[in-house]
Amino acid sequence: MPELQRLRADHAPALLAFERENRGYFARSVPDRGDAYFAEFAARHAALLAEQAAGDCHFHLLVDGEGAVLGRVNLVDVADGEAELGYRIAESAAGRGLATGAVRRLCGVAAAEYGLTALRAATDAGNAGSRAVLVRAGFVVVGEGSSLDGGGVEVRYRREGLGSGLV
């Protein structure tokens, strides 16, 4: 069973490999990170760790027994007991329930370790897999709107009672 680990400095090589290996796969459902992301990865990783240390965000990796990254599950914009959930799973690991399990586990961590009481999430209306993950993890639809990239409709979700059930 893959382990959910809080992002650390020593994760950088495996995380960069994960992002490179899955770049094309991710670009089919979310805007591409761009070449600068990869060229400036070390600085970006350090900035994420600084945001995490400040308590503004909580970044997590889903790591297999050999240390390879299978996914990312993040909490950003932490404020007033809430945060925005985001996640991505490697193409080679998709369809095995890993995203649902990781999101459920992070809901428990969010309550127990970070004191959060609610999470928000959004996904493209056409991304059936991501929508299913959120519903299976206890999120409910709270609305729709234009996607951040302006290319479609996103569905917005919310989950309260993070410390109860589904974990």
CATH number of the domain located at residue range(s) 3-160 in this protein = 3.40.630.30
* Spans of all domains in the chain: 3-160
Tally the residues of the chain.
167
pLDDT surpassing 60 at residue 94: yes
| Range 141-157 average pLDDT | 81
pLDDT at 149: 60
pLDDT surpassing 90 at residue 100: yes
3-state secondary structure of 34: coil
pLDDT surpassing 50 at residue 167: no
Cβ contacts of 27 within 8 Å, gap of 6 or more:
none
The partner residues of 84 in beta bridges, in order of sequence, read 76, 120
pLDDT surpassing 60 at residue 160: yes
Q: pLDDT tens across 27-46, in order?
A: 888 888 999 999 999 999 99
Query: Does residue 58 come out as left (phi exceeding 0), alpha (psi in the -120 to 50 range) or beta?
Result: beta
**Cα 70 off chain centre by:** 12
> pTM surpassing 0.85?
yes
